[in-house]
Structure 1
Amino acid sequence: MGPEPYSEFIAALSCPGTESSDFDLNPNVQLPENRVLRPAAVLVPIQALAGELHLVLTKRASGLKHHPGQIAFPGGKVDATDNGAEDAALREAEEEIALPRERVEILGTLPCHETVTGFSVVPVLGLIRDKFVPVPEPGEVEEVFSVPLDHVTNPDRYSVQSRYWRGQRRYYYTVPFGPYYIWGATARILRGLAERLN
């Protein structure tokens, strides 16, 4: 791999950082100190398309238990048979969008992110090598699409919005792109990457 254009991502991933949470913008929320989070991992896949870097995302199926219909990275819980978070992220990407793991070069990881559904998610940044035609897994993924990386790594593209959740107003980051409403954990993880790159 040449020094550009990926060296900035490797440098950004090596910077010290703090873990993020779906509750970052909601300081009044008191989380139990003894809460037990389930380990999970997502792949943050970068692909070169027509000379421009893109981020590959999915729209989750509406029938899923967790985050139905939301825009998400390929990923899921870390199984006992997985060899850590990176292995889990690659396995889930292969299952959900038919991305062969041998075509992914791992660049590094971002700090863990805690979700409202009780997961501790490790975002794994990966570079997709060669051409890749995604195939959505029926029942899990409704659609696979890509977003120019410049869009989600520009802090000016983000806004803070809110909605009521469990009787309280909850604030969260959004970074919409065309018809896709990117928000919640996905937007918060991307916001953390944008902060590191700017």
Structure 2
Amino acid sequence: MGRPVDLDMLRAALARPARPSSDYDLNPDIALPQGRKLRPAAVLVAIAETGGTAQVILTKRASHLKHHPGQIAFPGGKVDHGDTDAVDAALREAEEEIGLGRRDVSVMGQLPGHETVTGYEVTPVLASLNREFVAVPEPGEVAEVFFAPLAMLMDPMVYRVERRRWRGVWRQFYVVPYGPYYIWGATARMLKSLADRVTQ
């Protein structure tokens, strides 16, 4: 499961230097187009205390969605014109997708951006819950909300590398299985980046 990780350890990790991550990190042979324009997006990495243990809130995306159906993800989405910044977008999306109100969380900081294969520059926003939370999934987007142990996710050794075909080429990516859930791709990569900083 990994050693216990608390909010103070996460705050200390945020103060350490870190580089942006990418879905291409494990695939240096994939050539990215020069001058590409990425669309801004944001996700909320929310930490809850349940049963005396720190947990990360994750969602399983609805199976009928056009993009990433059934995948495990943080609450989040693209930054809209009405959003003040990435933090505002992440909080708005979390409220819309899982019913997590802005007053229910305290923002701790932002992680470096993550470039996805779908052309987004995602800003992960790290936050802690300051009250008990009962998820209300938005059925149009979210099939399920679940909690995964922070200690496990902050152990770099639980991440393995797998690969699959993507646009005719093999692409490698991080994976961290948890019970019936298969956490992979951008979500696993962002968590792995944070785990590396926590264990520095």
TM-score by length of 2: 0.96
Residues 126-184 of structure 1 deviation map (CA, whole Å, 9 limit, x = unaligned):
10111100010011000000001011100111100000111100000001100000000
| Structure-1 separation of matches of 2:6 and 2:56 | 14
Question: Aligned residue for 2:8?
Answer: 7
For structure 1, the 5+ residue unaligned runs are none
* Poorly superposed stretches of 4+, deviation over 4 Å: none
Question: Aligned residue for 1:147?
Answer: 148
Question: Aligned residue for 2:175?
Answer: 174
Identity of aligned residues (%): 59
| Structure-1 separation of matches of 2:6 and 2:186 | 26
For structure 2, the 5+ residue unaligned runs are none
| Alpha-carbon shift at residue 5 of structure 1 (Å) | 3.2
Question: Aligned residue for 1:116?
Answer: 117
| Structure-2 separation of matches of 1:14 and 1:111 | 12
Matches within 5 A, 1:37-76: 37-76=38-77
The alignment partner of 2:186 has SS state of helix
- Taking only aligned residues, the RMSD between alpha carbons, in angstroms, comes to 0.9
The alignment partner of 1:181 has SS state of strand
Residues 25-78 of structure 1 deviation map (CA, whole Å, 9 limit, x = unaligned):
000001012101000000001000011000000000112122111000000000
Question: Aligned residue for 1:132?
Answer: 133
Matched length: 195
TM-score by length of 1: 0.97
The alignment partner of 1:175 has SS state of strand
| Alpha-carbon shift at residue 17 of structure 1 (Å) | 1.0
The alignment partner of 2:183 has SS state of coil
